């Protein structure tokens, strides 16, 4: 995946737009509830699962967002499956 | 977990005055760049193509194990010596939190677009600026809730 930090846009490695990361409640990963036997977490405001993208492939994320365009992801800049670009240009 | 009110920020005189016309009280602050967010780079010119590149050292280690070297003097010339600069750009050197009239002392809010600089972790040679944080309204200003353990890491959700 390619993550444009300034605009918070996530693309596949082939440059196909996946989604723009935006949480209206500015939730922190640490504030979310753990899910047993899963690396994902649960958000109690939206009653949704926040998918930890660290071990997900491009295709898994594309499939997830195609199925549910409002699916929420957690992306860390340092994870191995993400190339982070455009750090300083503000949206 | 409770849903918190989001406090907007206006940057530049026109946007601040427009918000004042809409009934907000602008809490105006000067931007103060945090030294920890500064970046050191030099500018190298490629002697064959004349194109330039920014680099934080003569040898640069990047994501995915990529290594770029500027050590070959036949290929690269350091045209701007290594220097420190603040890499984040804003439209104005001051900004304002837009305070709603009904805010209550002690109310916890989200500052969506922080005026103050807080360190949000490092990504290779880049030092990330935190964009939003929770804060408590003291009646005159915000007491910003920054925890380096949770806010000083580069995680994004959405």
Please state the ipTM of this predicted complex.
Answer: 0.88
The CA distance from B70 to B77, in Å, is 8
Q: Residue A57: what pLDDT?
A: 93
User: Between the CA of residue A8 and those of A74, B85, B157, what are the distances in Å?
Assistant: 12, 24, 10
Q: Residue B58: what pLDDT?
A: 96
Q: Residue A91: what pLDDT?
A: 53
pLDDT tens digits for A3-26? 999 899 999 999 999 999 999 888
Are the Cβ atoms of A29 and B157 closer than 8 angstroms? yes
pLDDT tens digits for B29-81? 999 999 999 999 999 999 999 999 999 999 998 777 789 999 999 999 999 99
pLDDT tens digits for B82-138? 999 999 999 899 999 999 999 999 999 999 999 999 999 998 888 999 999 999 999
Report residue A88's pLDDT band, with 50, 70 and 90 as the boundaries. Answer: confident
Residues of chain A neighbouring B156 (CB-CB closer than 8 A): 3, 8, 21, 74-77
From start to end of chain A, where are the E strands?
2-4, 9-11, 17-20, 33-34, 41-43, 48-52, 72-76, 83-85
Token pair 């969506």 is found at B112
For residues B138 and B46, the answer to whether their CB atoms sit within 8 Å is: no
Are the Cβ atoms of A77 and B64 closer than 8 angstroms? no
Closest chain B residue to the Cα of A47, Cα to Cα: B1
Q: Residue B97: what pLDDT?
A: 98
Q: What are phi and psi of A20, to 5 degrees?
A: -100, 125
Lowest average pLDDT, out of A87-91, B22-26, B66-70, B125-129, goes to A87-91
**B124 or A63, which is more confident:** A63
Q: Give B67's strand partners.
A: B61
pTM to 2 decimal places: 0.86
Q: Residue B65: what pLDDT?
A: 77
Q: What is the DSSP string of B60-128?
A: EE-GGG-EEE---TTTEEEEEEEEEE-----SSSEEEEEE-TT--TT-EEEESS-SS--EEEEETTEEE
**Which of B1, B3, B89 is the closest to A90 by Cβ?**
B89
Residues of chain B neighbouring A75 (CB-CB closer than 8 A): 155-157
| pLDDT at A78 > cutoff 90 | no
DSSP B24: P
β pairing state of B5-7 and B108-111: parallel
The CA distance from A49 to A36, in Å, is 12
Q: Residue B64: what pLDDT?
A: 74
Q: Residue B66: what pLDDT?
A: 81
The CA distance from B124 to A77, in Å, is 10
Distance from CA of B21 to the nearest CA of A (A): 25
* Interface contact A87, partner B, CB < 8 A: yes
The CA distance from A84 to B62, in Å, is 11
Lowest average pLDDT, out of A23-32, B14-23, B107-116, goes to A23-32
Which pair of tokens denotes residue B29? 């602050």
């Amino acid at each position: 995946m390619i993550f444009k930090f300034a605009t918070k846009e996530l693309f596949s490695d082939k440059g196909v737009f996946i989604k723009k990361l935006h949480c209206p409640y500015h939730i922190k990963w640490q504030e979310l509830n753990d899910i047993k036997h899963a690396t994902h977490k649960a958000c109690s405001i939206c009653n949704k699962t926040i998918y930890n993208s660290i071990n997900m492939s491009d295709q898994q994320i594309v499939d997830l967002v195609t199925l549910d365009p409002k699916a929420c992801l957690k992306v860390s800049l340092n994870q191995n499956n993400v190339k982070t670009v455009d750090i300083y240009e503000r949206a | 977990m409770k849903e918190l009110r989001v406090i907007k920020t206006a940057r530049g005189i026109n946007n601040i005055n427009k918000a004042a016309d809409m009934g907000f009280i602008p809490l105006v602050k000067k931007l103060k760049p945090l030294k920890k967010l500064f970046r050191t780079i030099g500018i190298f010119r490629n002697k064959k193509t004349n194109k330039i590149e920014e680099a934080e050292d003569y040898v640069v280690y990047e994501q995915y194990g990529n290594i770029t070297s500027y050590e070959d003097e036949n290929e690269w010339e350091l045209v701007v010596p290594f220097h420190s600069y603040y890499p984040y750009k804003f439209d104005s050197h001051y900004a304002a939190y837009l305070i709603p009239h009904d805010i209550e002392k002690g109310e916890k809010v989200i500052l969506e677009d922080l005026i103050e600089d807080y360190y949000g972790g490092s990504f290779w040679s880049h030092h990330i600026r935190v964009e939003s944080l929770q804060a408590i309204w003291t009646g005159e200003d915000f007491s910003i809730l920054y925890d380096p353990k949770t806010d000083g890491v580069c995680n994004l959700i959405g």
